Structure 1
């Protein structure tokens, strides 16, 4: 017993067995004709299905179509060419035909100095007004460095001045005292907020300048001609304009103080000590204040 030999082929009709048909077996016999025809159709359909795009990541050919979604749809729906063209037309809006392509806009920007303002105004119409207002109100009262002396319209400088809380209600929410900090010549420092650095500070509190304490010591400087003082290093120096200072020392052999100076041989004199000065400018740059390297800007803020 053998299988029928099938070739992929679509036949228009399926043979009907008649009562008068003789029983003829074999691959071409009447008894197998219907099975062969149906089998050929099955093979044909199988090959046609295999030519189609797979269900996962299909690669379409020809001109496939899909429903056009509404412009309000914002999900994974397929965007047809009609959907895209409608979205672009909505973006372009009432722009004239000479300004409805990127190339035309770029050319116009190069030729017309006012087109920038026109475009910004048109884009602003398309922007989400609520989101823009929220962002603007967030920025009100926040210091930012400005490179010019003249304060732009809609802004205030941080000069320690009082402002009208009724005129600037949003600014008043952030500065309830109605007074802006004076940031002229000041640095802004991040609030410690419980970190343990710069502890005890409140928001908007001012802090004076300070440095870490500088300490040092000298011992057994008893004679003005001791040469190592002329080789001092760092911030310590011998002051050669003030010499031969007297001193008081305790005489360990009695209960009285001894005034004068002790010479090399243990005798006493009255002029043996010189003065030693501490001068940080010998080591580092100095000024009337403590400061890092910096560049001067004017601090201003949006006010509303």
Structure 2
């Protein structure tokens, strides 16, 4: 009856090579005792095999806790391509287009940088139901003599066909003067193809009271000339004059003398004005 080799789970550093001088004697392999020499290499290979088998079993036990064959990839909102790990999987992201981003009613799509840029630009430029961030007709101060795209300088004469949204705003703004007399309002231009933007050159903007009672009846966009409010200057003007009663000394005579004119010269000029800085005013046109 044949008996199999006894396998030990150990890594053999080398496999014995049978030499020509070795006695070919069968039996239990024992290299030290010189017995069963033909079976020594087989024993060593069997030991290695047993050791590798144990290592593989241990590795499989570890991996089974991390990636079992039944493990799934679940995709959340905006992702597709999930499923079992037993097959190759490609995950994909669903991106919103500009129309969906503007509507703001899709919760299962992401936004890429291009759509974010387009959305912000649209929010500044388009005048939807809720109005743009900077609606057509908005005036702003500008710190350059070069006017940026989308704007016109105040006081400009414009073609109605070139700026239809601005022309529509001018007519519905509440500060359109169809006579063209009030230059601080939108004007009719030539009455057919052009219109005028308000001209606020060298003026200070005053916030419209809209019924506050400070200036009853004041119209939006109306111009107002400069004015000095009621005030008084208390001046006491007296001077010495020789008496008229025959005396030889001068005395103070509060009843004598004529009219004296007193003027102030410090910090005076051709107008009344506050400290100021000159900036360009531009109006959102498109």
Q: One fold, TM greater than 0.5?
A: no
Scaled to the shorter chain, the TM-score interval is 0.3 to 0.5
**Structure number, greater radius of gyration:** 2
Q: TM-score, normalised to structure 2's length?
A: 0.44
TM-score (norm: length of structure 1): 0.42
**Structure with more relative contact order (C-alpha pairs < 8 Å, separation 6 or more):** 1
